[in-house]
Structure 1
Amino acid sequence: MGTTPEGRRAGARDRDNEGRARNARPRDGLGRPLPYDAAGVARQPEGVVRTPPETVTEAQALLDAGKPFHAHEVFEDAWKSGPDEERALWRGLAQLAVGLTHAARGNTTGGARLLRRGAGAIEEWAAGTGHDRPHDLDLPGLARWARTLADDVERGVTVDAGTRAPALRAS
């Protein structure tokens, strides 16, 4: 095997400091890999433990900036590090962010499916707990937003992630 222009062995997998496989290619704002020598968008650090208000604030800022892929990573951290009784909530929110990511990338089927799955997940969590506004999140509004966006995506509406970003908190 030869080497790449970046000095890596052709076919070799990128690894993080712990030796886990991790793609080192830069990413664009929607999380798509770019060539190694391209300028990309800074990645969200993984495994960060945040309070729920910090999670919501950071995710909202990323969504507003048109970076739903990065917001998904923030929600994923909350899902993995938060209390067991909130895991389904954060997982559902991560699905909404990934659905928006796919919709903005032009993946009609995947975007609509994930938006609807995320809407169902947060509604199910709210019904099971009796809380539809945990951490000031507007779960009914988010579910409506997701289903409306899923319908638009299926009708062929082009989605700009920044302009179609949801408001996470209740007004």
Structure 2
Amino acid sequence: MSGGARRAGHGRDRDVEGRARNARPRDGLGRPLPYGAEGVARQPEGVVRGPAETVREAQRLLDAGMPFHAHEVFEDAWKSGPEGERELWQGLAQLAVGLTHSARGNATGGARLLRRGAGRVAAYADGGGETYGLDVAGLVAWAGELAGRVERRAGGGAGRDAAPPDAATEAPRLTGP
């Protein structure tokens, strides 16, 4: 339960400081499972990593089909990094959450987050800030292409009966080929 506990007599999970914190186990896409079920280990919160370590850890999680967990790594980076990089890390987190929602079958929310994240990340193209070797153009193109596919699936076109995208198969390469 990653530091969380359910208080007897209370309907909400609380962490050791008493803050509301959902302690239910989660699957690889971050969906809550029933209490007592075997889940995927949660990412520890508040971990301060350097940019290269953040990118490596997020890529490992993306490749494992766990974009929800990769989003948490990017969230730590935006919360602990310099203000000037906040949009980059938030955009990357939105790309990961967009993939999460798309893989869960939420085409509308997934496409919206993919496009929003791509817009934030695109601001770093052409010298718009430090990118730590990220393939900004490739990520923007990936997000647009995936968003289009999930929108077509939801829109009733030929792909309507297609399964939601597989998170591991669809995971982007953060640093390019």
Q: CA deviation at 1:7?
A: 7.9
1:87 aligns with 2:93: no
CA-to-aligned-CA distance 1:26-57 (integer Å, 9 cap, x gap): 00000000000100000000000000000000
1:130 aligns with 2:128: yes
TM-score where L is the length of structure 2: 0.87
1:152 aligns with 2:149: yes
Equivalent pairs counted in the alignment come to: 163
Q: CA deviation at 1:8?
A: 3.6
- The runs of at least 4 consecutive aligned structure 1 residues that moved more than 3 Å come to none
Query: Which residue does 1:169 correspond to in 2?
Result: 175
Query: Which residue does 2:42 correspond to in 1?
Result: 43
- C-alpha RMSD over aligned residues: 1.6
AA aligned opposite 1:165 = A
AA aligned opposite 1:130 = G
5+ long unaligned stretches in structure 1 = 1-5
Query: Which residue does 1:115 correspond to in 2?
Result: 114
Percent identity over the alignment is: 69
Secondary structure in structure 1 of the residue aligned to 2:119: helix
TM-score where L is the length of structure 1: 0.90
Secondary structure in structure 2 of the residue aligned to 1:15: strand
Secondary structure in structure 2 of the residue aligned to 1:26: coil
5+ long unaligned stretches in structure 2 = 1-5, 154-161
